[in-house]
Every structure is written in structure tokens, then in C-alpha cells.
Structure 1
Amino acid sequence: MGGFTKIRAEQGEKQKALEERDMAVFQEVLPEAVSKANAAEDAVEKAVITSEMISAGGDDLDEVRQAVQEAQKAMGEARIFLNAKQASARRHLERAGAPQKNEELGEPKQQGNVIAFGIPQVRALKADPKLTATSCGYVAEEYTLSSASVDSFIPGLVYLPGFLTVAEEQELLAAIEAATWDGDNKSRRTQQYGYGFHWRHRHSNALVKLEPPRDAMPACSEAILERLVRDGHLASSAFDQCIVNDYTGGQGIKAHRDREFFGEAVVGFSLRDRAIMDFRCIRSGEVRAVLLEPRSVLILTKDARWSWQHAITPAPTLLWRGSTLPRGHRTSLTFRSIADWGVVAEA
């Protein structure tokens, strides 16, 4: 204990010496900085007074120009002086080994409602043991959702856990596994139904009508969509396009908003395993997260459809409300209608 006390005493003396040096630098700089700032203010005031006098008397504008030039010169000198002293102080801090960022201090850096990933997860959880990890950073429990929600968590977002039965899930998976997987999306396995999406030609003639049996929605999905209509969650069960995404090994999907040529409602089924989908408001930057459980349904309309981006973070495990959850094999189906048929290529 004696050695530890000695080390702490030495560190305290060094810190005190640094603080005294900083104060000396500050006291040295302050008078000249104040003087130059006052001179700049006086020059600006002189320019204003001169302008008013000339405007009232109708005299020549040369005096105004001269006063403005003097004011600009004074302000420039003040700015150069302060910038130089600021750079000197920054170099002094670097030599003293003082950290410049919150991350180096080990303090959580808050950006809106998100705590950035600049600190270790263990330390972040000490500050808030109920944090959830999203693609943007950590969010508090109040910004997460795992229970049923209809339009309250985010306007236009409907989350229905356990909406699909086990039998419906198995029937969908059997149909998907019996079909072939597309080979043009390297980040994950996909299948498309109704209209196919050209990954390499997204901006013009992006969709093409698929040949049978891919020209219709997957087996069993239409009955589920019709039940969503009967329960009042959807206005229509008619969708033109479905994409199946297969996530393995912690795969994710980057933040995005479904393309504008798709319609008002986007519907997603989650099969097999859970995932965290995070949402980021395009206007405010606020982030929220939803735990998508197996056999759940997610519907995006209104703000949730148009004003929020959604993403799934690539990670082998999930951090949800302070608990680490294993992440397994997840399959999702996303249903969309076509609003702008100009993007469909002619056969």
C-alpha cells in the first residue's frame, strides 16, 4: 500500500504542476486577447457610427469604406492571435498527454439518444445495465420494443409478435427450401417472387416480371396477409413483389429505406430466429430498436415507411436490454407493392 500511495502522490504533484502551468499560460494570453477583442469591437462601432453620419449628411462613402477596412483589419488580427494561441495550447496539452476526446477518457459520448461505440461494452453497461446495441450505437431501454405495438412506438409501425403459427412458419420454410436461391446478391442468400429486382441496375428498369412458379407470392403467405387485413392491420393483402432474405453467421443489412417506387405498406415476416432491427429517423437522427422474434410480423407505413431508415447489424450475438443473446439462422420475407410501374422492364 505504501508504494501505491507514493505513486498517487507523485501523480497528484504532476497534475498540480500541469494545472499551474495552464493557469500561467491563460493569465499571459488573456490581457492581450481582451485588448484585441476590444479593439475589434471599437472599430466595428466606429464603422457603424460613420455610416450613420454619412447617411444623414449625404457625404462621400470613402470614410465608410476606410472605417470598414479598419474594422476588418482589427477583427482579422484578433482572429489570427486567438487561433495561434489556441494551437499553442493544443500542442501543450498533447505534450502533457492530456486526452482530447471523451472516448480516450473512457466516458460515454452521447449523440442524440445514442451512446457511441467509443467505449468497451462492459463499461457502457455499468453506466446503464439495460442498454441495447444497434448499428448506430447503444440505446436505453425506453427506445426499444419487444411487445406488440400498433402505431405508438413509431408512427406507422405495427409489430405483432407470434402472429404466424408454427404450422404456417414450417409451410413457408418448406416452400422456400424447395426453391432455388438467387446468385446475384453476394452479401446473403435471396429469393424473389412476383417481380425480380436487378441488384446491378437499381435506378432504371429495376424490376422484371418473373416466370412461373416465381410469378406468384410464396405458398401460405397470401392466407397470412389476408388475416392481417381481417384483423385491421392492413388495408389490402395484394402485393406485387416479395423478397426472401436468409441471414446466417451474423449477417445483417445496412441502413436503408425501401425504394420510392414501392407503395405505402411494407410487410415483413420473421422466421426461425430473432434479430434486432434498428430504426433511425432521417430528420432527427433518433434511434430506436425492435426485437424481431420468430413468427412475428412487422408492418411499416406512414412515418415508419418514409421517414425512418431500418437496419440489422452484422454481429454473431445480440445485446438486448443488457443481455447477450445468441444469434442463429434467420429467414425473412418482405412484401411490397409497386407504385411506379415505370421501373418495370418490358418483357
Structure 2
Amino acid sequence: MSSPDLHEAPFAALDLSSDSEHSTPQSDSEALSRRERKAQFRLNKHRTDAYAAFLRSENLQSTAHLFDPRPRKTLCIINLGLGAAGCATSSRLEQVFSAFAGFERVVLKHNKPFSFARFRSGDEAKVAYDAVHEKPCDVFGGKLLFIEYLTHVQFARLADHEPQSSQVLDESRGLFYVPDFITKSEEQMIMQSIRDDEERELRMRGIQNDAQSDKWFKIQDRFVKHYGHSFDYHTKHVGDASLAASLELPAWIRPYIERIRSAVPSYTCQPDQLTIQRYPPGSGIAFHADSHTAFTDTLVIVSLGTPVQMDFRKPGADCFTSVDLQPRSLVLMTGEARYGWEHAIRIRRSDLIDGTVRKRCERWSLTLRTISQSLECSCSYSALCDSNDAMVRDLRTHKHAKTQITQGSV
């Protein structure tokens, strides 16, 4: 096998000939001092060694397709890993990055020479990058850290890669699809119940104009409404209770919860959160995995109205599949399908199904979740897990403190 091609990496080609300790000093005033030349030589050597170790660890020939020159929210620390280069730990790595605004979490993989730091945005990650990249790090004894930006998919590829030959998403991996979960008449009854609830809420507020109702929220081009608990689309976690239409699930949904148990016997959850979504033609939702710590291990989606294609991907293994969600069908995600795969509805006005273009019309969905009281997750899908996010740790600390106060007052 040919040696790794470092010259294809996104950093400058490493030409060390001019940095050799035996180079002839330049005579003009801009020439580097002997000490500076030695420092530059050592920097280039450390950089070359670090990237070479990274390539070897992943059996790669080049980093050209891994890293992005543009700021991204995920930083890859090339030469600092767990049980390998640098003897990093989560707590020590957090010492380096938690001082920067927007920091969310660090991710380390055992016996890998690299690690990750995630931020809310690329701009916030850039501030940390500029401050830490190729600069001595006191937390690690003055070690120079080499940092790159990763795209979301490449982060998952490096963090969760599993060298398996086949990864079909089916019931064995936690994806259940039940066609005709409800009848046409039940579908109509549900839609009428949604309208009745809305009219009742408007009357209770003394509001006559539907547009003034504050319990429907527009998220991009779709409309959402929550029962039991709201969902905060900024934090991607449980939201303020005042944003829910009701703190209880509507009565009309309860008979269908029992039916889920009959359709999928392994379903033992007692859902306490319902999200109703209305998708106008052409709208969709980006690839995502629902928060691991906000909700327990099972999600249920019932489709109403018209069909749509839902896509699933497992970034860590470059796997992709689609499910054609027919009206009145049910999708249940648990285990690997819930934690290790993302799902999405592409933003477009038609789907290509078996070679035929099918136009989209308005679709509704009912999503049932169960709130996680522990705010913990111990899954093995680091790229999609938020258990170590700074915000989630703060939520756990606040919850623990509140519990202590409550117990002390009893």
C-alpha cells in the first residue's frame, strides 16, 4: 500500500526543506533567527507526525474529504486522544474549551489519537479554533494542539464508525412500520378532534381569530403544537410548560396508545408528550435524532392526510434508507434506530417512488414521546448523543439541587 498522501490535506503542503536546521541563514533583516528556524522546524515536524498518526489510525490515504476550511461547529483535535496520544480525559479537554461561548461537549473514542469539541455554531467554534490551534496548551503541559473543522457527517463517521458489511434498518435494529394502524374513519375523527380542541382553546381565551392563537408555532414552513410538555427547538430539549396547549394529553389519543402495545408488543412506554405537526406541500424537517436525554428510548409517529417519504441515515457507517409513510401508518423507533440513526423529511414538493414522481399534499403527523426523568443516556452513539452537552449537565445539576431542596423541606 502506498504511503499516506499528506499533500492532499487541507493544510499547506509540508515542505520542510527550507526549515532544516542546516539551512543557510538569510542575510536581510526579515530572516528568521536560528532559534526561530528551529522552532518552525519542530512545529512542522510535530504537525507532520500528528496528521500521519491520524491517517494511520483510520487507515486513510488523505484527509482531503474529512475536513472543511470553513468554520463548522465541530472541532477535531488531531493529536489528542483517550488512551492514545496526549492521554486526554473529558474533564481535562473541557478545561480547554468550556471557557468559550457556545461550547456544548467533548467526545473521545478509546484508543484513538484524536478527539472532538462541539459548539452551537461555526462562528463560536472559530473563536476557540483561533485561540487554541497550534498554540501551547497549559492544560496539557504546553502541548501544541492541531485542530480542524469537521462537517456533521464526517464527525459521525469518525466518532461512531462501525466496520460492518451490512447495516439494514429494520425491526432487528429497532425500526417498526405498521401500515393501516388506524382506519380512514378514525383518521377523520382525529382530524376533527384536533379542530375541536383548537376551537375550545380559542373560546377559553375569548379569541375569535385563529391566527391569534399562541399554541400553534411555525417552525420553518411547518406548524407544531405540543401537549403534555412543549419542545424547545432552540435547545432541542423539553421547553417551557406554558408553551404547551395542555399539560395533559388529549383524551382522543389514549385509545391509540393501547393499540400501539398490540401492534408492537415490546412497546411498554407510557407517553406523556404529544406533538402535532402540519406539513404544507413542500415543507419538511432536516436530518436529526431526537434528544437522547430529553426523551426515553422509543418514539412513535402516526401519519395522517397524504403519503410522504421519510429518509433515515446512519452517518457513522454511511448507511441510508427510506420508508414511504402512507396515511394512517405508524412508525416506531427504538434502540439503534432511535439513538444511532437520524431521520428527515426532505424539503421538496414531490417524492420519487418506484420510478414515479408523486406530488406532495398537506400531511399531518402525531409524535408520541416519553419524558426522561433522569436526563441520562448511556448509548454507544457518541455523535448523536447529547448526554455530555454542557446544557444538559447544567439541567441535571439544577434538577439535583431542586430535589435536594424539596427533600430538605419535607
**TM-score, normalized by length of structure 1?**
0.52
> How many Å separate the matches in 2 of 1:340 and 1:325?
42
Note closer, same or farther for the CA distance 1:240–1:335 as it changes in structure 2 (3 Å cut): same
Structure with the larger RCO, 1 or 2 (CA within 8 Å, 6+ apart): 1
The higher radius of gyration belongs to: 1
Instruction: Give the C-alpha shift of residue 210 in structure 1.
Output: 5.0
Alignment partner, residue 190 of structure 2:
172
- 1:196 aligned to 223, 227, 230, which one? 230
Q: Percent identity?
A: 29
> How many Å separate the matches in 1 of 2:316 and 2:235?
28
Paired residues for 1:1-347 under 5 Å = 151-152=171-172, 155-178=173-196, 179=198, 181-183=215-217, 185-202=219-236, 206-210=238-242, 214-261=246-293, 262-340=295-373
Determine helix, strand or coil for the equivalent of 1:215.
coil
The answer to whether the 8 A contact 2:280-2:361 is kept is yes
Counterpart residue type for residue 307 of structure 2: R
In structure 2, stretches of 5+ residues that fail to align are 1-44, 46-152, 154-165, 199-212, 376-394, 403-410
Deviations 1:112-147 (A, max 9, x none): xxxxxxxxxxxxxxxxxxxxxxxx9xxxxxx9x9xx
Instruction: Give the C-alpha shift of residue 265 in structure 1.
Output: 0.4
Note closer, same or farther for the CA distance 1:209–1:305 as it changes in structure 2 (3 Å cut): same
> How many Å separate the matches in 2 of 1:224 and 1:282?
33
The answer to whether the 8 A contact 2:176-2:333 is kept is yes
> How many Å separate the matches in 2 of 1:186 and 1:303?
28
Deviations 1:148-185 (A, max 9, x none): x9615xx1000001111122211221122232552353
Deviations 1:242-299 (A, max 9, x none): 1111101210100000111210100000000000001001321111000000000000
Determine helix, strand or coil for the equivalent of 1:304.
helix
Counterpart residue type for residue 172 of structure 1: I
Counterpart residue type for residue 290 of structure 1: V
Deviations 1:67-122 (A, max 9, x none): xxxxx9xxxxxxxxxxxxxxxxxxxxxxxxxxxxxxxxxxxxxxxxxxxxxxxxxx
Instruction: Give the C-alpha shift of residue 211 in structure 1.
Output: 8.2
> How many Å separate the matches in 2 of 1:229 and 1:264?
15
The answer to whether the 8 A contact 1:225-1:237 is kept is no
Alignment partner, residue 114 of structure 1:
none
> How many Å separate the matches in 1 of 2:266 and 2:183?
19
Note closer, same or farther for the CA distance 1:171–1:341 as it changes in structure 2 (3 Å cut): farther
The answer to whether the 8 A contact 2:297-2:335 is kept is yes
Instruction: Give the C-alpha shift of residue 328 in structure 1.
Output: 0.6
The answer to whether the 8 A contact 1:189-1:247 is kept is yes
The answer to whether the 8 A contact 2:217-2:225 is kept is no
Counterpart residue type for residue 263 of structure 1: T
Determine helix, strand or coil for the equivalent of 1:288.
strand
Hey, which of these two has a bigger chunk of helix by percent?
Answer: 1
The answer to whether the 8 A contact 1:253-1:311 is kept is yes
In structure 1, stretches of 5+ residues that fail to align are 1-71, 73-135, 137-142
Note closer, same or farther for the CA distance 1:193–1:234 as it changes in structure 2 (3 Å cut): farther
Note closer, same or farther for the CA distance 1:300–1:212 as it changes in structure 2 (3 Å cut): closer
> How many Å separate the matches in 2 of 1:185 and 1:212?
15
Note closer, same or farther for the CA distance 1:232–1:310 as it changes in structure 2 (3 Å cut): closer
Paired residues in the alignment total 199
Counterpart residue type for residue 276 of structure 2: V
> How many Å separate the matches in 2 of 1:213 and 1:192?
6
